[in-house]
């Protein structure tokens, strides 16, 4: 489909959506729907042309106005794609008090997991290795055991695998709630050095891809 306004099209919108959250993707799809309506009614003529046409029907003018407004709102959303990581604290399985404020200035991976999760059992050794590989760069993994897990199982798991990063049991579920009511494991969040949530991963993380994303964030910090 041809561009409905100079420099803007569904394809360009959705290309920008690749790293967006679900609400942002939904907004892009809504915009494309309005563009499609205009295309059906007017073909390939640009929206701005009709905004300058004196005899344009009021209904069509309204559709055009809403389309441009939604496009501007979506572009504004692209400029504000990240939200701040919620603050949290707790005691780690290693016996230390932890506060998320100590992560300021570090690229971080927050990993929600459970000992009963087979994907987590596979993923944790890879995260241990990732922490080893990137420890000198200031990168930090934080493990959050979900509230339905048993404290004894968590302690045994951490000891058995020799987990080298802080692990907190979210026994009240408040940390998971702060990150959008996380219930599935594993679920991870990539945080930049300014404390902004950059990306959410549901399921096991592709470590090779993750390393590239971490490197990119560290270069831009």
How far is 75 from 92, CA to CA, in rounded Å? Answer: 41
pLDDT for 195: 96
- Rounded (10°) CA dihedral 128, 197, 98, 176: -90
**DSSP letter (8 states) at residue 15:** H
Q: Can you give the C-alpha Rg of the chain in angstroms?
A: 23
92 and 53 housed in the same domain? no
Nearest to 210 by CA among 140, 130, 147: 130
Q: Is residue 2 one of the residues assigned to a domain? A: no
Same structural domain for residues 118 and 211? yes
Q: Distances from the Cα of 131 to the Cαs of 94, 127, 142, 160, in angstroms?
A: 16, 6, 10, 17
In the prediction, which pLDDT does 131 show? 98
- What's the pLDDT score for residue 75? 54
Total domain count, the chain: 2
> Which pLDDT score, from 0 to 100, does residue 5 have?
41
Tell me: do 89 and 130 sit in the same domain: yes
Is it the case that residue 217 has pLDDT exceeding 70?
A: yes
Q: What is the mean pLDDT of residues 189-205?
A: 96
* Average pLDDT estimate for 75-85: 61
What pLDDT score was predicted for residue 221?
Answer: 74
Cβ atoms < 10 Å from Cβ of 45: 14
Residue entry with tokens 């967006």: 20
Residue whose token pair is 């003529």 = 45
Counting residues of the chain whose pLDDT is more than 70, the rounded percentage is 63
Is residue 1 in a domain? no
Least confident of 75-84, 102-111, 118-127: 75-84
Q: Residue 67: which domain range?
A: 10-79
Mean of pLDDT values over 128-149: 97
Gap between the Cα atoms of 166 and 51, Å rounded: 58
Q: Does 165 have pLDDT greater than 70?
A: yes
**By the 8 A CB rule, do 149 and 115 touch?**
yes
Calculate the average pLDDT of the chain: 80
For the chain, percent of residues with pLDDT exceeding 90: 61
Confidence at residue 102, expressed as pLDDT on a 0 to 100 scale: 96
Query: Does residue 121 have a pLDDT over 90?
Result: yes
Q: Which of 24, 47, 79 is the endpoint of a domain?
A: 79
Q: 79 pLDDT exceeds 70?
A: no
Does any domain span residue 3? Answer: no
8 A C-beta contact, residue 26 and residue 51: no
The pTM assigned to this predicted structure is 0.65
Structure tokens at 115: 């000992």
Task: Tokens for 77, please give them.
Answer: 């959303």
Question: Does some domain include residue 144?
Answer: yes
Task: Find the helix packing angle between 58-79 and 22-42, rounded to 10°.
Answer: 150
Q: What is the pLDDT of residue 78?
A: 44
pLDDT band at 40 (very low <50, low <70, confident <90, very high): low
Q: What is the pLDDT of residues 82-92, one digit of tens each?
A: 699 999 999 99
């Amino acid at each position: 489909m041809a561009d409905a306004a100079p420099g803007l099209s569904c394809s360009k919108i959705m290309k920008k959506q690749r790293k967006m959250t679900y609400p942002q993707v939904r907004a892009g799809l809504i915009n494309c729907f309005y563009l499609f309506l205009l295309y059906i009614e007017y073909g390939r003529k640009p929206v701005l042309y009709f905004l300058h046409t004196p005899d344009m029907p009021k209904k069509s003018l309204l559709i055009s106005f809403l389309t441009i407004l939604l496009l501007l709102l979506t572009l504004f959303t692209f400029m504000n794609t990240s939200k701040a990581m919620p603050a949290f604290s707790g005691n780690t399985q290693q016996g230390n008090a932890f506060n998320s404020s100590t992560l300021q200035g570090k690229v971080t991976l927050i990993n929600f997991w459970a000992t009963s999760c087979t994907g987590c059992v596979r993923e944790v050794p890879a995260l241990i290795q990732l922490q080893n590989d990137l420890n000198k760069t200031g990168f930090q993994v934080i493990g959050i055991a979900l509230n339905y897990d048993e404290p004894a199982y968590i302690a045994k798991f951490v000891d058995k695998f020799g987990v080298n990063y802080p692990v907190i049991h979210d026994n009240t579920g408040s940390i998971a709630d702060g990150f959008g009511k996380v219930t599935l494991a594993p679920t991870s969040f990539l945080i930049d050095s300014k404390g902004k949530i950059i990306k959410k991963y549901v399921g096991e993380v592709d470590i090779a891809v993750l390393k590239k994303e971490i490197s990119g964030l560290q270069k831009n910090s």
